[in-house]
Structure 1
Amino acid sequence: MNYRHSFHAGNFADLVKHALMLWLLRTRQAAGPVVVLDTHAGAGLYDLTGDATRSREAEAGVERLMATAERPPLIEALASEVATLNPGGGVRFYPGSPVLVARRLGADDAYVGFELREEVAGLLRESLTGFARVRGEIGDGYDLVRAEARRTKAPLVLIDPPFERPDDYLRAADTAAAIVTADPGAIVAIWTPLKDLETFDGFLRRLAAGTKAPTLVAEARLRPLTNPMKMNGCAMVVVNPPAGADAAAAEICGWVARTLGDAGAKGEVWRV
């Protein structure tokens, strides 16, 4: 399955990922200055009149979000960021994790995002222009984030691969485990699609084998996991979740599933 950011920007999975990342960032900032590391940063900011028109997933995601009157606080926090980027109304621009984080950084915080494709890395750097204490780097985020984490105390790490490569699940699990093993104060959030239970369970087993740290699994299932070629839902797996993470994830995943999913859709939050 191809999950290149620009084709799927603003879909339901982005809403789950970005709403929870905003909460994690705010919570981590309450404990002191934080460095956010992003393995697969993408372009940083997306024009939904571009590649996203081919999938039309933003219509069923962020456009419905912005048209809905009843939004719980953690969903409202994301909607507020989207509205700020579209001052004339509508939803033309959608922020990726780099811009969302950069807009929320404190004076002593920092962000480093990695992007493998040179042309996308250029867009990433352009989107971060004007923000202080941020960097966009070209290279393999799995390897580079480990090196950056070794130089950083208690980072907040987002692992969000496009799942274009057959080893993405393995490398995501191994990278998260390595970071948390080296620094028990690190928080690592891993986004994954939900296609079938066998693939997802294998990922969780690999992660659990690499670390004994507490791990939260937040799922938004929009349809039954019966078609492994289709993204039937998504999950955010958070290693070393801060206090309050279960309730925050339940609010976000529950709203997305109820509002955007098929009949029988559900949000679930549990611990490994």
Structure 2
Amino acid sequence: MCAIKLFIIVKIVTEVKELKNLINAFRLNNPKDNIGFIPTMGALHQGHVSLIDAASDLCNFVITSIFVNPTQFNDKKDLERYPRTIEADMEVLANTACDVLFLPTVAEMYPIKDAVYSIDLNGLDQVMEGKFRQGHFDGVCNIVESFFRIIAPDKAFFGIKDFQQVAIIKHMTKVRALKVDVVTCPILRDASGLAMSSRNALLSPQEKESARILNWVLKLGKLLVQEGKPLSEIKENMLALFAQGSLDLEYLEIVDNDTLQAVNSVQPNISACIVAYCGNVRLIDNIQLN
């Protein structure tokens, strides 16, 4: 456990050069200490705070980034709609153990316009999110790899709500031989069970009420697995419950945690992943089934 930190005004850095100088100075003066990193796209909520808390518990110096990454959006309108709340985000960070906020521009992170990024993700990007959001994970890996190379953190913290993204980032880190320990943290939910997400800010109170069904569907799946039901019956019942709500289903998959491939029977190490639209807002959630 690292020493308790006093919450102070977070240092804001906007340029890569300045951030590298800051990190180099920290490494020089604190050779035995480690750095934790939390990449975000802003619109911070308690889920992000939990990642910062986890980083503070395990690391001596905590860096958070806020960068709405254009290359991971395959829908321009989705990029435009994404909430940007930097002043509110600063208030959130002021009450955490974050030491530095990295707040770069698009030009800072992508100095070479239209540069081609390529990585073999071993098929992990061809299912679920990758199937519906072509090129999304190339954009994710591009920016996360850039952050990892700039910051060289000892540990990076991600929420398991983005189940497929976490698996892909772990794979990318291994393929690129980056010495970063990718730490996964549990999903935080509000009182109704809705998984905390930056996109929730786009929901009306009535839509938030409707969105609760995602968690109900996932919990039903877990209960039926515990009762020993066959997979076909489990998925059928989950879909039937979902149909009682008002959301539009994009996909519901039960997959192997390592390969992300859909499974045909209940087996160890599987999760249920669901994505649906609540109005114009795309919501994602998952649950470990066994």
Superposition TM-score, scaled by structure 1 size:
0.33
Q: Quick check: which has more Rg, 1 or 2?
A: 2
User: Structure with the greater relative contact order (CA < 8 A, sep ≥ 6): 1 or 2?
Assistant: 1
